[in-house]
Amino acid sequence: MAKYTALSVASLGNILAIIVNYWFGYWLYDKTKTKLHSSKVGKKSLDIGHKYGYAALAFSWLPVIGDPLTLVAGVVRLNFVLFVVIAGLLRVMRYYFLTFIL
């Protein structure tokens, strides 16, 4: 029973985190359009986000690069519901694997 509780809490926390990242990216783009387009890293992030979009979310479960990818998803305005389904499911699967397989 404790494993199910851990899985639920960890998954819920991660899903809330990706939602916050998405909306922060959405808001960030409105506030810093010109800076993002003029900086080298910002331009590259936007290009990757527009080019790969949902396919880039396949890596959103990874610990180091996952959060920036969810932020970029908000910046490039991916469909919110589809974003939550894809990225959220990957986060749940990661914790399922850590909880029950390892």
- Give the domain ranges of the chain: 2-101
The two three-digit tokens of residue 47, written as one number: 């290009």
DSSP assignments along 5-42, one per residue: HHHHHHHHHHHHHHHHHHHHHHHHHHH-HHHHHHSHHH
Q: What is the pLDDT at residue 30?
A: 79
Spatial CA neighbour of 70 closest among 56, 52, 50, 89: 56
Give pTM, 2 decimals: 0.84
Per-residue pLDDT reduced to its tens digit, 24-45: 999 988 777 777 778 888 788 7
| % of residues, the chain, pLDDT over 70 | 99
Longest dimension (CA), the chain: 52
Structural contact between residues 62 and 93, judged by C-beta atoms closer than 8 angstroms: no
